[in-house]
């Protein structure tokens, strides 16, 4: 069979049709080399292993984690031969793999967002003490979600919880969570808190929460955010950018609502305090009344003592004026007219003498 004669353009088109048919999407793992950002819009790099290398091309918006030469990544891409005759992988998604590269990607993005002030303490908003309506973004099939619901039901009641079920790991997870964040933020009546939870997992599973667009969506949320991902030791950029970080989904529930038993104990203690204050007030009033009565009694007693003392003095004075006492001292009382021949009555202490006046002279 004779070979088909094609123009160069047709050959390129045919090759691309064949590639698209045979490999609509490929996943290729390799090491990043010759990484370049072109005009802040495009990125290009080589993906290599020990034997071969291939050119990769993408827009900056497709890059969800910063890259650096030497990082090990998996690219999801479409192979293509371009009009200049270069074979490239047109990137749809790229994610670091292996502990070292995941950590490197985390550190690069952390530094970038930190520089923008996204983790600044002054950006953090307080959560309402007792929210009435909250939004939750989680996989409803996960153990972390079950723990969260169990704890909020144990601790509190009367809370309206709207749950957005999304994937919390794997390539589609970040975009699903971003859509859920936007959904809650677009509601006419927004929830008071937005909670994003996921249980523990491998570094690769949790790397979903280091996705740059997701981290930015959390930072941009008009609703205050509470993020509890993984275990106590796990730190993701999503929880660093949130308003409040919870160590685990269980801890998120503990932060979100108070413990009803604790509130009941506090209410009882307050009622008891009121009772004690009432008893104390009654005691104070009783003591004060008693003290007032005692003071009044002391005053009356003092007045009486003063009066009796004055009476004693008066008695002495009166006694001194009694004529009997004068007679007792040897004086006599004379009654009658002071004229010669008149009869006089002379009263001494013990006797009464009747006598006649013999003579009356002036002194």
State the minimum distance, in angstroms, from the CB of residue 277 to another protein. 4
Write the burial class of residue 221 (CB in 10 Å: 0-12 exposed, 13-18 middle, 19+ buried). Answer: buried
CB of 298 to another protein, least distance (A): 25
Comparison of 176 and 251: residue with beta carbon closer to another protein? 176
State how far the Cα of 130 lies from the Cα of 46, in Å rounded to an integer: 53
CA distance 248 to 254: 10
Q: Does 270 bind another protein (CB under 8 A)?
A: yes
- Which range binds another protein by CB under 8 A, 40-48, 108-116, 159-167, 295-303? 159-167
Asked if 69 and 33 touch (Cβ cutoff 8 Å), the reply is: yes
Question: What string marks each residue from 174 to 203 as x (binds another protein by CB under 8 A) or -?
Answer: --xx-xx--x--------------------
Q: Does 278 bind another protein (CB under 8 A)?
A: yes
**H or E element: which one contains 54?**
strand 53-59
Are 134 and 244 contacting, i.e. CB atoms less than 8 angstroms apart?
A: no
Q: Closest CB to another protein among 102 and 152?
A: 152
Site membership for another protein, residue 287 (CB under 8 A)? no
In what side-by-side order are the strands of the sheet with 352-356? Answer: 333-335, 343-347, 352-356
Q: Does 273 bind another protein (CB under 8 A)?
A: yes
How many residues are recorded in the chain?
A: 363
Q: Which of 156, 192, 216, 255 forms a contact with another protein (CB under 8 A)?
A: 156
Instruction: Locate 75 and state its tokens.
Output: 């690219």
Distance CA 294, CA 165 (A): 77
The answer to whether 158 contacts another protein (rule: CB under 8 A) is: yes
Q: Does 153 bind another protein (CB under 8 A)?
A: yes
Q: Does 290 bind another protein (CB under 8 A)?
A: no
Q: Cβ(56)–Cβ(75) under 8 Å? A: yes
Both tokens of residue 274? 């009121």
Binding site for another protein (CB under 8 A): 129-130, 132, 140, 149, 152-153, 156-167, 172, 176-177, 179-180, 183, 260, 263-264, 267-268, 270-271, 273-275, 277-278, 281-282, 285
């Amino acid at each position: 069979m004779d070979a088909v004669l094609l123009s160069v353009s047709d050959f390129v088109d045919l090759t691309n049709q064949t590639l698209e048919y045979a490999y609509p999407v490929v996943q290729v793992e390799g090491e990043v080399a010759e990484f370049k950002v072109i005009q802040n819009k495009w990125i290009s790099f080589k993906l290599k292993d020990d034997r071969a290398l291939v050119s990769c091309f993408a827009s900056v918006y497709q890059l969800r984690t910063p890259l650096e030469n030497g990082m090990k990544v998996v690219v999801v891409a479409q192979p293509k031969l371009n009009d200049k005759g270069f074979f490239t992988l047109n990137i749809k998604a790229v994610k670091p793999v292996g502990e070292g590269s995941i950590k490197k990607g985390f550190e690069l993005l952390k530094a970038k967002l930190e520089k923008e002030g996204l983790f600044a303490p002054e950006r953090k908003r307080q959560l309402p003490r007792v929210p009435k309506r909250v939004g939750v973004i989680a996989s409803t099939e996960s153990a972390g979600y079950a723990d969260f619901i169990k704890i909020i039901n144990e601790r509190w009641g009367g809370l309206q919880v709207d749950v957005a079920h999304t994937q919390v790991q794997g390539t589609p997870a970040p975009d699903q969570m971003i859509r859920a964040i936007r959904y809650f933020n677009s509601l006419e009546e927004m929830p008071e808190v937005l909670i994003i939870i996921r249980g523990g997992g491998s570094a690769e599973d949790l790397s979903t929460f280091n996705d740059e667009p997701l981290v930015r969506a959390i930072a941009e949320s008009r609703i205050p955010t509470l993020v509890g991902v993984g275990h106590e030791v796990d730190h993701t950029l999503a929880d660093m950018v949130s308003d409040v970080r919870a160590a685990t989904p269980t801890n998120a529930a503990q932060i979100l609502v108070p413990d009803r038993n604790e509130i009941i104990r506090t209410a009882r203690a307050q009622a008891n305090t009121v009772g004690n204050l009432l008893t104390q007030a009654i005691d104070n009033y009783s003591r004060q009344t008693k003290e007032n009565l005692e003071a009044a009694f002391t005053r009356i007693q003092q007045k009486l003592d003063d009066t009796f003392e004055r009476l004693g003095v008066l008695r002495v004075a009166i006694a001194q004026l009694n004529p009997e006492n004068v007679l007792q001292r040897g004086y006599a009382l004379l009654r009658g007219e002071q004229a010669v021949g008149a009869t006089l009555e002379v009263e001494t202490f013990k006797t009464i003498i009747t006598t006649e006046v013999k003579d009356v002279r002036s002194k």
